[in-house]
Amino acid sequence: MGSEQEKEAPFSRNTPKWRLFLKISDSLYVFSKQRNGRTIYSPLAIHNFQFLRPKKLTDAEKFNIQYPNPAMLTTTADKLRYYRYKKSLLQRQVADYAGINESTYIHYENPEHDYYPIDKLSRIAGLLEVDVTDLLDEYNRFLYDGQGWQIQKIRKSMGLTQYQFGKLYGVSAGAVKRWESGKVRVTKGTWEKFYS
């Protein structure tokens, strides 16, 4: 083959025994060499791929410098960001895996967000390769562990009926009953009052 084609062949200087036989495209070549009176052919395919990384690497770097250890994080939003950055994933990729739209996931990483459906969080935890409990803040851990028996325990430790407990927190006895049966989720604001 001509010297022009040899110049086009990648790595040709590092492999002097091989010569370019055929250039199929910019990423696919066929090389040949003579050995014991026979011609040997070998393909060379060049693959390009993009490394996964956050859209704003500087945001990830700043965050990881500020919080080098996940034990320093108190909100589920920050824990999601920490583990997502650790895996070099985009918000869109996490959202797709969890089966939610991207704007919903972006809202998950907002510190003002308070409630996370456990089924979605469990899928996200699987992608991030952590236990779901590693992602939970205190409120969501309270819900995960079962709000019903915990509210009942608080109420009974105070020696109150459902009616009295509801009156104390500005809700009906029916609302307390639904909390304790797990039919209605207690809000974060009310949960905070339990421990104030």
Average pLDDT over residues 171-190: 96
Query: Quick one: which H or E segment has residue 1?
Result: none
Shared-domain flag, residues 106 and 171: no
Shared-domain flag, residues 38 and 84: no
Shared-domain flag, residues 81 and 29: no
Confidence of residue 50 (pLDDT cuts 50, 70, 90): low
For residue 131, which of 144, 150, 142 has the smallest C-alpha distance? Answer: 144
For residue 142, which of 68, 183, 192 has the smallest C-alpha distance? Answer: 192
The yes-or-no verdict on residue 66 having pLDDT over 80 is: yes
| pLDDT above 70 as % of the chain | 86
Q: Which domain holds residue 66?
A: 57-144
Does residue 155 fall inside a structural domain? yes
72-112: pLDDT as tens digits: 999 999 999 999 999 989 999 999 999 999 999 999 999 99
Does residue 50 fall inside a structural domain? no
CATH number at residue 65: 1.10.260.40
What local confidence, expressed as pLDDT, does residue 47 receive?
A: 74
Q: Please give the distance of CA 178 from its chain centroid, rounded to a whole number.
A: 33
Shared-domain flag, residues 72 and 151: no
What local confidence, expressed as pLDDT, does residue 190 receive?
A: 94
Whether pTM exceeds 0.85: no
The tally of domains found in the chain comes to 3
Token pair, residue 58, equals: 């500087």
Does residue 52 fall inside a structural domain? no
Q: Write out the DSSP string of 53-104.
A: --S-HHHHHHHHHH-SSGGG--SHHHHHHHHHHHTT--HHHHHHHHTS-HHH
